[in-house]
Amino acid sequence: MIYSRIVGTGSYLPPRVMTNADFAARLDTTDAWIRERTGIVQRHIAEKSQTSSDLAFEASRHALAAAGVGAEDMDLIVVATSTPDYVFPSTACLLQSKLGVKGSAAFDVQAVCSGFVYGLATADNFIRAGAAKKALVVGAEVFSRILDWNDRGTCVLFGDGAGAVVLAAGSKPGVHASILRADGSHSGMLSVPGNVCGGAVAGSPFLQMNGQAVFKFAVRVLEESARETVAAADMQLSDIDWLIPHQANVRILDATARKLGLPSEKLVVTVDHHGNTSAASVPLALDEYVRAGKIRAGHRLLLQGVGGGFTWGSNLVTL
């Protein structure tokens, strides 16, 4: 039996930090409102010159170094992003070129904030099927580009960044189970409903959402997905050392852990200093905890995504 295993993690945050006070200086909002409703204190914002593939490149370099392998060893590059550099080519192809290699398969996955979980499941299946031996899976976003900076209800929530993992084939799991779900009937609940047409933007280029509906939906499906994935791996929730949900809002994270009966010590929280970085949030959080020595080899992790589409899903992983 072939399994896939995470053999290295990496991440990158652009240096510029934006605090809640920076928003309060230009919008009708306060640090207290943002902290209380979201748990967010600060987020990183990319420079104008930085694209998702630039952030992905930095995160990938760190992940490859941690894994002790070269980009030339990758058979597959998957980039999860909703803020690609271009309509095409894919951000994964641009990343491949920045890494100075060619020949591997490279494509993007578009599942918004569930993108990394979808990408990891995809790469895991390539490896299990024998179609790849090593894969680079990246979540990279510059959500600052699709925010209406005058809309206090959305612009305070997000940040930019990238996270990456190297997956390698092995005889032991690794990735035990992944379950991916979607319900396109909720496409209007969270969207950027625009496109490029005839040289102009048709529709809206800005993120819009129904915050309260998103909140309720996210808590419900994160709980369902956790239970379903743990059962698919023939395990119990008590076997999980770390719950790493998509970092949208500290209240969503707390409510999910509470519903699952998991103590707060097992909940990974980085949304306070990253904001919501969409597809980058799970690998960014994973890498931060790995580098801090909190998440270690042998630990069981439940990675979870939920986002526009609506999409959601989980990967149960032994590091």
Supply the residues annotated as catalytic. Answer: 113, 246, 276
Give the one residue of 14, 139, 275, 307 binding ligand ACO; rule: CB under 6 A.
307
Dihedral sign, Cα of residue 114, residue 164, residue 44, residue 257: positive
153 makes contact with ligand ACO (CB under 6 A): yes
Query: Quick one: the chain helix, strand, coil %, rounded to 5?
Result: 40, 30, 30
8 A C-beta contact, residue 219 and residue 158: no
Specify the 3-state DSSP secondary structure of 264.
Answer: helix
6 near ligand ACO, rule: CB under 6 A:
no
User: What minimum distance in Å lies between the beta carbon of 17 and ligand ACO?
Assistant: 18
**Residue with smaller CB distance to ligand ACO, 36 or 72:** 36
Q: Any contact of residue 243 with ligand ACO (CB under 6 A)? A: no
Q: Report the residue closest to ligand ACO, judged by CB.
A: 211
Between 229 and 311, whose beta carbon lies closer to ligand ACO?
Answer: 311
Residue 218 lies near ligand ACO (rule: CB under 6 A): yes
Tokens of 227: 């239970």
Distance (Å) of CA 241 to CA 4, 109, 166, 237, 317: 19, 28, 21, 9, 10
The nearest distance, CB 44 to ligand ACO, in angstroms, is 16
The single residue among 89, 170, 205, 211 that binds ligand ACO, judged by CB under 6 A, is 211
| Residue 58 · residue 46 · CB < 8 Å | no
DSSP state for residue 257 in the 8-state scheme: H
For ligand ACO, the closer of residues 152 and 300 by Cβ is 152
What gap in Å lies between CA 141 and CA 94, rounded to an integer? Answer: 14
Cβ within 8 Å of residue 172, ≥6 positions away: 3, 5, 318
DSSP state of 189: G
Rounded-to-integer distance, Cα 19 and Cα 27, Å: 13
Give the interface size with ligand ACO as a residue count (CB under 6 A).
Answer: 23
**Which of residues 17, 22, 31, 33 is near ligand ACO by CB under 6 A?**
33
157 contacts ligand ACO (rule: CB under 6 A): yes
Q: Per rule CB under 6 A, is residue 152 in the interface with ligand ACO?
A: yes
CA dist 130 to 120, 169, 177, Å? 15, 9, 17
Distances 48 to 33, 45, 87, 145 between C-alpha atoms, Å: 28, 9, 18, 9
Q: Which stretch binds ligand ACO (CB under 6 A): 66-74, 77-85, 164-172, 204-212?
A: 204-212
In terms of Cβ atoms closer than 10 Å to its own Cβ (0-12, 13-18, 19+), residue 265 is exposed
Q: Does 276 bind ligand ACO (CB under 6 A)?
A: yes
- 115 versus 174: smaller Cβ distance to ligand ACO: 115
Q: Which is nearer to ligand ACO, 106 or 248 (CB)?
A: 248
Nearer to ligand ACO, 107 or 215 (CB): 215
Nearest distance in Å: CB 249, ligand ACO: 4
Instruction: By CB under 6 A, name the binding residues for ligand ACO.
Output: 29, 33-34, 37-38, 113, 152-153, 156-157, 190, 209, 211-212, 214-215, 218, 246, 248-249, 276, 306-307
